[in-house]
Amino acid sequence: MAIMNVNPTRMQLSKLKKQLKTAVRGHKMLKDKRDELMRQFLDLVRENKELREKVEAQLKNCNDHFVNAGAVMSKQSLDASLMSPKQQVSIETSSANVMSVDIPVFSWDTRTSSDGDIFPYGYAFTSFELDDAVMSLNDLLPDMIKLAQLEKSCELMSAEIEKTRRRVNSLEHVMIPRYQETIKYISMKLEENDRSSRTRLMKVKDMLLDKAHNYSST
C-alpha cells in the first residue's frame, strides 16, 4: 500500500493519528449502518417478492375477466361502459426515515366510500363478467399500492446500501491501511532521525574531548 505524500514531522504524525482515529470510528459506524440496512432490505425484498407474485397472478386473473367480458359484450359498449369513471383514487405521500434513507409511505383515499358504488355504468346493458372484472381489479388496488410502496423502498434502499458498502470498503481497504502505513513511516523516520542525531552528538563530544584534553572516551 502506498504511503501518503507527507513530511515526516511530529505535527503531521499527530494529525494523521487523529485522522486514523476518525476513520476507524467512521468505519465502524458505517459498517453498522450497512448491516442494519441490509437486514431491513432483505426483509423488505422478501415481502416484496411475495406481494409481486400475488399481484401478478391476480392481475392475470383480472385480465382474464376482462377478456371474458369482451367476449360477451361488443368492444364499443365495453369501452363506453368504462369511459366515464365514477371513482377517483388519491394518494397522500409522506416519507419515513429508515437509517437515513427516505422511503415513501402511501396512504390512499377514494372518492366513493362504498366498494359497491364503484361501477361507472348501469347494470342494464353490461354483462356480469364486466362487474366481476371491475370488482376483482378493485380488490387488487390496495395490494398494488402496497407493492408500489415496497418496490420504491427497495429501489431507494438498494442504492443507499451500495453507496454505504463502497464507503465501508474504501475505508477498510484503502484509507485505514494508508493511514497506518504513513504513521508507521513517519514514526520510523523520526526514530531514525533521533538515532542519527544522537550518534552525531556522541561523535562531536568525542572530538571535542579529544581536542581539549587529548582524551578519548574509548
Partner 1 sequence: MRFMAKHIAVIGDSESIKGFSAIGLDIFPCDDTEKAPQLFHHIAEGDNYAVIFITEEIYELVEKERRRYEERLTPAIIPIPGVKGNSGIGTKRLSSFVEQAVGSDIIFQ
Least separation in angstroms between CB 94 and partner 1: 5
Select from 30, 130, 142 the least CA-distant residue to 80: 130
| Residue 132 in the binding site for partner 1 (CB under 8 A) | no
Residues from 7 through 36 that contact partner 1 (CB under 8 A): none
CA distance 62 to 64: 5
Q: How far apart are the first and last CA of the chain?
A: 45
Closest distance between partner 1 and the C-beta of residue 101, in Å? 10
Beta bridge partners of 98: 101
Q: Is 86 exposed, middle or buried (0-12, 13-18, 19+ CB in 10 A)?
A: exposed
Q: Is 88 among the residues that bind partner 1 (CB under 8 A)?
A: yes
**What residues numbered 62-81 form the site for partner 1, per CB under 8 A?**
62-63, 66-67, 78-79
Nearest to 131 by CA among 63, 56, 59, 69: 69
CB of 137 vs partner 1, minimal distance in Å = 5
Instruction: Determine, following the binding rule CB under 8 A, whether residue 167 of this chain makes contact with partner 1.
Output: no
Find residue 102's DSSP bridge partners. Answer: 97
**Minimal distance in Å, beta carbon 72 to partner 1?**
15
CB of 130 to partner 1, least distance (A): 9
Q: Grid coordinates representing 11?
A: 505535527
From the list 4-12, 40-48, 179-187, 208-216, the region that binds partner 1 by CB under 8 A is 40-48
CB closer to partner 1 out of 78 and 175: 78
HSE (side-chain half, CA atoms, 13 Å) at 8 = 15
Query: Using CB under 8 A, which of the segments 147-155, 170-178, 184-192, 201-209 binds partner 1?
Result: 147-155
